[in-house]
Structures are given as structure tokens and as C-alpha cells.
Amino acid sequence: MTETRQPIIGQSLTRLEDPPLVRGKGRFVADVSFPHQLHMRVVRSPLAHGRLLGIRIKAALALKGVHAIWTAQDIADIGPIDFREGKIEKLEPYRQPVLAQDYVRYVGEPVAVVFAEDAYVAEDAADLVELDIEELPVIVEADAPPGVFAPGLSTEAAIVTQGFGDVEGAFASAHAIISLDLQMGRHSGVPLETRGAIGLYDSARDVLELHGAAKVPHKNRESLARMLGRTTTTLHLFEYHVGGGFGIRGEIYPEDILVLVAALRLERPVKWIEDRREHLMCANQSRQQRHLISAAVDAQGRLLAIRNEFYHDQGAYPRTHALRIAETTCGILPGPYHLGAYSATGYYRLTNKTPCATYRAPGRYETNFVRERLLDAIAERLGMSRVDVRRINLIKKEEMPYARPLSVLEDDVSYDSGDYEGLLDQSLKAMDWDALQESLKARRAKGEIVGAGFALFIEKSGLGPTDGAHVNVDTDGVVEVLTGGASVGQGFETVVGQVCADILGADYRKVRVVHGRTERIEFGIGAHASRATVMTANAVAVAAAKVRAKALDMAAELMQAQPGDLDIANGLVFRRDAPHGPSMKLGAVASALRPMAKTRGAREPGLSADGWFESEHQVYPYGNQFAVVKIDPATGAIAIERYLIAYDIGKAINPMLVRGQILGGFAQGLGGAIYEEFLYDERGEPLSVSFADYLMPTLSETPDVEVLLTEDAPSPRNPLGIKGAGESGIAPVGAAIASAVEDALQCTGLVRQLPLTPQRVKAMLKELQSRRGLPA
């Protein structure tokens, strides 16, 4: 047998997690049931704002199969839903109660809850619960004057600010000032399966369990324990297959708390599965902001200062993230450009709509759109090309790491590495940009409405500060990697498995990755903010290296060699100088390290180790996206003729998965750019509560996308050099398509709002005709 070490990191291996999924053996939360379980149905407010005067449950309670019905009074001892990162004094009074108390503030707000023998009866009973609500005036726009949240509390719950430098001075001495008023519609993540939660109480062990966790099981365990007055040791969260998280799944919602409290008090398992209408009405929404942004530039187009004021529509309540999106909006807006001075002011306002929180690339989808529109407008004003205005402002490779006195996720902004201009050049070449301009010009001359646009962006990923993992090899050579990470379908097991197999020398197919189980590991960061690969994989690398060292040490004694003479590959320990010679299976090494084994000597029992990785700052991947579009002047429909995504990942563990992340993200970005929008009427009634009204792009609407994946700028902030991939596909799509649409119309300043629905495009065409003095 010949053994050589082939790299596993960097290979597009097929996914470890796929076998059950492609054979129909997956288990999602709705597939999970426990004997004797009750089904929960939430009674929701039909009004966007009102005073709750009374709730009549008698008729509902009388229905056969109904076990209990609760209102706020029944859970008066449970406080409102906590913020994930702990106490935030100023926002405390705005937190959402688990069940509405005196007021309802959005359509869909939980008001009462039914527990019944089956899901049908539960829904029948919920229909019979009568709500007496005195309707109050609503606020549906965040840029409307603030109103009253509760006596003494304004709906302007906070104002966030960031900035640096002499903004006033820069504007006073500017060569030109360019101002835009831009807004972005509400959209959000719509995973394949809806949310779900099952509460289970084991009174014999006094352990409370929440099944159906996602994203951040360990963080949520802490919050839930705090809210329920339990210790974390007796509260456990369990994750099953998750068909997409996108930031909105796995946060703590009222239903998670209700199933737990009910399981405790009713002493039966309690199952809740969200239906699609509830999902589109009650799960976190995102994105809705209006920005009033101005740039002061010099005659060469350099950004002297940006002043940005924005209205952040938070919906009815701050959710678990509190101010994070508004803060990120401030901190990340300058993107890849130099900026002399900056001031950002965000009005964080509550409206009578579904509450908002993070959705894939929070604060970046919005700011990429705003900033890149601004750059295009500057180019037009100064008569520069859109490429040149960016070139002159880009932060250079030699300036890395590049710090700015701003913060994102309470972390000081410091770009770690990057060659922004280099990647721009690669994309321009891939697009054959100059020739493309000529051909588009020729087509426009013939009457076609075609154009190309692009957007540059910085991502942020790998939020620390620390994560740990445990690696264990059993006596059959199977490697178990215990992590506090979470899988939201992104390929977490594969990435972690590849890193472990590569570093340790194990057989990749023999690695089993545990995640999303608080009873197996005490700490964990879950999967959010594109951090799992950066943080967890690096922790796994540390643990795997320790296991490797221990295996070599043990095997050296058994094989009468020095550890340095040995290597491990595919789960076999062998001599470097005699790859055809005798070898030892990792399982045999693990056997030699069993507690009772004499061979163990003074070594710690077991072939296992813990590893921790710490990071001072986030890492900042970067990229650009290019779009070529054609507009049908009669319908206003936008056809995407070509799309390129260039992205520097630092180091790809599995390029196929990175591409998958990019393409999936792109489709969602396309949704926000053209199709998806949660609309509300003037009474705050949600109008997009089915897939007939909330239009996600399907395969037919999604064009082929070219991906230019580079590894030019590995991160110096972790040994593997990796950066996150999760949000790169989505982040600048609205920006790039808006730029292409304006190029097609040959007029900047027309795109002021996303999504670019056919009707809005048609309105822009009319505006253009009237600007040019042509008959409409």
C-alpha cells in the first residue's frame, strides 16, 4: 500500500451531509414528533395597532380536543424577549412580550395560544377565540413623524451615529456636492421549511428541551435560561436538518418560549410548526431603509466626505439583535473606498409592521446599493467614467491592514487584506468591458434599452472572539468532531470535515461532525455573520493538530520510529521514508490509548483533544459584481443578459461550496432587486402573505451567473487564511442591477428605490421621456 498526503483543504469534495438528504432520510423539525404531544396554534392580532380590551376563549375552550388556551395573564411571570447580546438599557421598554398585553402593534402579533390534540383542532379553536381590540392610528412609514409606542415612549426608539473627521469643513470646501434620496423595500429570508419548535420536559431528570433550534443554539440557551429562570445545565437545544437559515431562522421568537413554558406546565411535549402565511407575516423581515446621502468630492472625484442620514424601519419591536443592522449600516457604508470624513445618523424607528432583524448581508445589501449609486452619480456629475471614479478612491493593497474609526458588530473596522483594484481589473477583463461598452452603445443606437453596471463591495465575516471544538478518534478510526457550530444547510459538516481530515490525516468520509446540540458541548457560536468556517474550522484545525501529534507520538512508540519520521493520511500512520512499509490504522492507535491499555503509558487516555481559536478582529473578504441588462420598454421588465460575480475568499476550503453559497445568495439578491417586497396597506395590513404575492425568483427568473473566485488575499488573521462566503452572493446585487438599469436608461438618479418592479421601471421610462421633453 502506498500512502501519500494529498491536500483535502481546497478540494471540491462532495458534501458529507448529503447522503440522508438525497435519499429522503433527512429530518427537519416538522418530521420530529414525541409521544403524547400537544399541538400549539397561535392566535394573532388581525389589526396593526390597537388597545387590547378583552379576549374571549370560552367557545374555543369548549371544542373537543382542546387542552388549554393561554393569554398574557397566564404567563405573566415570563418577561419580554431578551436581546441576544444581553441588556440594552434604552431599548428594554420596547421589547416584545411573549403574548400581547395591553396593546397589539402589528398584524400577526401573538395574542393568545391554543394547545390541542391535533393541529386541525388547534386551528379550529384559534378561529373561535374572540379578540376585542380598539383600533388605534398606525405608523407604517419610518420617515413619518414619530408617534407614541406606549405612554412616555416615542416610536423613535434610538438614534445611532458613527463618524469621523471634519465633515462640515469638507462640504464647505468641496468641488461638488452630490445628494441622493434612496430607499429599499422590505424583503427577507424565506427558507424551504418554515420555523418550528417542540418543547419537551423530562421531569425525571428535570431537563427542559427545545427541539428545532437553528443558527445560534448556545446563545439562545443562555437567553432562554435567563428568561425562564433555569440554569443552562438543565436546558438543552437540539438542531435537526435546516433547509436554510438566512439569519431569520433560529432567533428567539415568542413561539419558542411558549412551547417551553407549555411543556413545563402541561407536562406534555408541545409541537408548533409555523405555516407559510405565518412565516410571511411573523418571521423577521429586513432591509427597509431610506437614505438621504450626500458626498463632497474634489475635482478629481475623490471622496472628501459623506454625510448620511437614514430612517431604519424596525417594525413593531426591536428583536433579538436590537440595533445591529442600524449600527452595521453606519459602520460598513464606506466600503472599499478612502473617505476623508464621515457622519452617519440612523433613526431607528418602530412602525406597525412585522418586526425586522438580520437577513443575509444585513446592513450591506442596503449600503452597497446606496454607496454605489452615489459613486455612479459622482461619475456622471464630474464627467468621469464609473470605473475611474472608483479607481481613484479605492483603498490600495499596500495600505492593508486598513483601519477606520468605525465599528461593525461592536468590532472596530479594520480591513485585513485585499487587492480591490486588482480584482476590479480581473472583472473588467472578464467582461471585456471596453468592447462591451461599444456593443451596448451600438445596440442603444438601434433603439434597444440595454446597459451594463457594476458594484464593488466589502464583506465582513468571522466575528470572534473565540470558538472551540473537540476532536475524538474512536477505536474503529471514526473521527468525531464536536462543535458548537450550526448547520443551516451551508455545508458546515463538509467544511469542518475537510479541515479536520486534512490536518489530522484522517479519511474524510470517516469524519462525523456534531453541531447544534447543547448537551454535547458547553460553548458554541452557531452559524451567523459568515463566521462558522472562519472561527469553528480554525478551532477544529487546532484540535485536529493536537490529535495528530498525539497519534504520532503513540504510533512512533509502537512502530519503533521517531514521530517526525511518520506521517498520517487516509487514516493510516506510515513511515515517510517507506510509504510501502508497515502502517497503522488510526483506530489501532486509539485502541493503544484506551484507559486500560498498557501501551498508553503516562499519556492521557483517548485519542482526542480540544482546540480553541481566538480572533481579535473580523476578516473582510471583498468582491465586485457586474450586470448586463435589457429593458422591455412596453412592460418594464428587466432581463439579465449577463452576470458576473468576482469574489476573493482568501482561501476556499471547498470551492464548490463557495460557489454554491455565491449562487444561492445571488438568487436572493435578485429577489430584493427586482421581485420580492413585503407590502402593507395604509392600515398596516400585510399584503404579501402568500407565494402568489411575495415573489421569490424561481429558476426561470434566475440567469446563469459567472463566478470568478480568487484567493489573492488570504487573511493574515487566521492560520488557514480563510474568509467567509455566506453573504457574498447577495450583498451587492441590488446595487449592480440598479447601476445597469441606469446605464440602460442612460440617466443616473432615476433609480431611487428597490425592488425595480416592472411598473416602477415603466414609471422611470416615463420620467425619462418627460425629462427629455419627449411625448410620453
Partner 1 sequence: MKPAPFTLHRPATLAQATALLHDLADEDARLIAGGQSLAPMMAFRLARPGHLIDLNGVGELAHLCESGGMIEIGALIRHVDIARRAIPGVTGALLRAVLPHIAHHPIRTRGTFCGSLAHADPASEWCLTAATLDATLVAHSASGRREIAARDYFEGAMATALRADEVLSSVRLPQLPEGARFAFHEFSRRSGDFAIAAALVIFELRDGLIAQARIGIGGAEDRPRRISEAEAVLNGRKPSPELFVEAGAAVAAALCPMEDISTSAAYRRELAATLTERALEEAAR
> Residues 6 or more apart from 22 whose CB is under 8 A from it?
none
Answer yes or no: are the C-beta atoms of 289 and 310 closer than 8 Å.
yes
Least separation, in Å, of the C-beta of 704 and partner 1? 16
Nearest partner of 677 among 664, 688, 689, judged by Cα: 688
Q: Which of 602, 692, 774, 775 binds partner 1 (CB under 8 A)?
A: 692
Omega before residue 336 within 30° of 0, cis: no
Least separation, in Å, of the C-beta of 675 and partner 1? 7
Nearest partner of 669 among 756, 742, 752, 763, judged by Cα: 756
Q: Which three cell numbers stand for residue 73?
A: 395573564
Least separation, in Å, of the C-beta of 593 and partner 1? 54
Least separation, in Å, of the C-beta of 123 and partner 1? 5
Contact letters (x/-) for partner 1, 203-242, by CB under 8 A?
----------------------------------------
Contact letters (x/-) for partner 1, 277-316, by CB under 8 A?
x---------------------------------------
Count of other CB atoms within 10 angstroms of residue 134: 11
Answer yes or no: are the C-beta atoms of 404 and 334 closer than 8 Å.
yes
Answer yes or no: are the C-beta atoms of 95 and 320 closer than 8 Å.
no
140 binds partner 1 (CB under 8 A): no
758 binds partner 1 (CB under 8 A): yes
d(CA 144, CA 133): 24
Contact stretch for partner 1 (CB under 8 A) within 8-16, 329-337, 501-509, 756-764: 756-764
DSSP result, 706-728: EEEEE-SS--TTSTT-----TTT
Q: Which is nearer to partner 1, 192 or 692 (CB)?
A: 692
Q: CB-hemisphere CA count at 13 Å for 714?
A: 10
Least separation, in Å, of the C-beta of 700 and partner 1? 4
Contact letters (x/-) for partner 1, 314-353, by CB under 8 A?
----------------------------------------
119 binds partner 1 (CB under 8 A): yes
Answer yes or no: are the C-beta atoms of 251 and 267 closer than 8 Å.
no
Q: Which is nearer to partner 1, 275 or 309 (CB)?
A: 275
Contact stretch for partner 1 (CB under 8 A) within 122-130, 452-460, 509-517, 714-722: 122-130
Q: Which of 759, 769, 770, 771 binds partner 1 (CB under 8 A)?
A: 759
Least separation, in Å, of the C-beta of 627 and partner 1? 18
Q: Which is nearer to partner 1, 636 or 721 (CB)?
A: 636
Answer yes or no: are the C-beta atoms of 737 and 453 closer than 8 Å.
yes
Least separation, in Å, of the C-beta of 755 and partner 1? 10
Least separation, in Å, of the C-beta of 685 and partner 1? 10
Least separation, in Å, of the C-beta of 689 and partner 1? 9
> Residues 6 or more apart from 596 whose CB is under 8 A from it?
none
d(CA 376, CA 378): 5
Contact letters (x/-) for partner 1, 601-640, by CB under 8 A?
---------------------------------xxxx---
Sign of the C-alpha dihedral, residues 675, 681, 686, 687?
Answer: negative
In the chain, the amino acid numbered 180 is L
679 binds partner 1 (CB under 8 A): yes
Least separation, in Å, of the C-beta of 277 and partner 1? 6
d(CA 337, CA 457): 9
Q: Distance of alpha carbon 21 from its chain centroid, rounded?
A: 22
654 burial level (CB within 10 Å; 0-12, 13-18, 19+): buried
687 binds partner 1 (CB under 8 A): yes
120 binds partner 1 (CB under 8 A): yes
Nearest partner of 78 among 236, 228, 260, judged by Cα: 228
Burial 390-409 (b: 16+ CB within 10 A, else e): bebbbbeeeebebebebebb
124 binds partner 1 (CB under 8 A): yes
d(CA 276, CA 237): 24
Number of residues that bind partner 1 (CB under 8 A): 28
Q: Which of 690, 746, 769, 770 binds partner 1 (CB under 8 A)?
A: 690
150 binds partner 1 (CB under 8 A): no
Nearest-5° Cα angle at 713, 498 to 427:
105
Omega before residue 655 within 30° of 0, cis: no
Q: Which of 123, 222, 610, 706 binds partner 1 (CB under 8 A)?
A: 123
Q: Distance of alpha carbon 220 from its chain centroid, rounded?
A: 16
681 binds partner 1 (CB under 8 A): yes
Least separation, in Å, of the C-beta of 775 and partner 1? 14
127 binds partner 1 (CB under 8 A): yes
Answer yes or no: are the C-beta atoms of 352 and 139 closer than 8 Å.
yes
Q: Which is nearer to partner 1, 123 or 565 (CB)?
A: 123
Query: HEC profile for 503-553?
Result: HHCCCHHHEEEECCECCCCCCCCECCCCCHHHHHHHHHHHHHHHHHHHHHH
Least separation, in Å, of the C-beta of 635 and partner 1? 5
Q: Which is nearer to partner 1, 622 or 694 (CB)?
A: 694
- Residues within window 259-278 making contact with partner 1, judged by CB under 8 A: 275-277
Contact stretch for partner 1 (CB under 8 A) within 120-128, 321-329, 350-358, 519-527: 120-128
* Torsional class of 168: left (φ above 0), alpha (ψ -120 to 50), beta (otherwise): alpha
Q: Which is nearer to partner 1, 164 or 675 (CB)?
A: 675
Contact stretch for partner 1 (CB under 8 A) within 353-361, 548-556, 596-604, 695-703: 695-703
Q: Which is nearer to partner 1, 275 or 711 (CB)?
A: 275
Q: Which of 161, 698, 769, 770 binds partner 1 (CB under 8 A)?
A: 698
User: What is the number of helices (H) and of strands (E) in the chain?
Assistant: 18, 31
d(CA 281, CA 586): 52
Q: Which three cell numbers stand for residue 386?
A: 464609473
474 binds partner 1 (CB under 8 A): no
Least separation, in Å, of the C-beta of 119 and partner 1? 6
Answer yes or no: are the C-beta atoms of 207 and 236 closer than 8 Å.
yes
Q: Which is nearer to partner 1, 522 or 681 (CB)?
A: 681
Omega before residue 80 within 30° of 0, cis: no
With residue 309 as reference, give the H or E element that holds it: strand 303-313
Q: Which of 46, 675, 706, 712 binds partner 1 (CB under 8 A)?
A: 675
Q: Which is nearer to partner 1, 617 or 760 (CB)?
A: 760
Q: Write down the H helix ranges in 596-671.
A: 655-670
Contact stretch for partner 1 (CB under 8 A) within 221-229, 339-347, 510-518, 675-683: 675-683
Q: Which is nearer to partner 1, 277 or 603 (CB)?
A: 277
Q: Which is nearer to partner 1, 203 or 700 (CB)?
A: 700
757 binds partner 1 (CB under 8 A): yes
Q: Which is nearer to partner 1, 143 or 275 (CB)?
A: 275
697 binds partner 1 (CB under 8 A): yes
Q: Which three cell numbers stand for residue 23?
A: 435519499
Q: Which is nearer to partner 1, 124 or 251 (CB)?
A: 124
Least separation, in Å, of the C-beta of 112 and partner 1? 17
Q: Which of 701, 706, 711, 712 binds partner 1 (CB under 8 A)?
A: 701
Q: What is the CA radius of gyration of the chain?
A: 28
Reduce the DSSP state of residue 211 to 3 states and report it. strand
The residue ranges that bind partner 1 (CB under 8 A) are 119-120, 123-124, 127, 275-277, 634-637, 675, 677, 679, 681, 687, 690, 692, 695, 697-698, 700-701, 757-759, 762
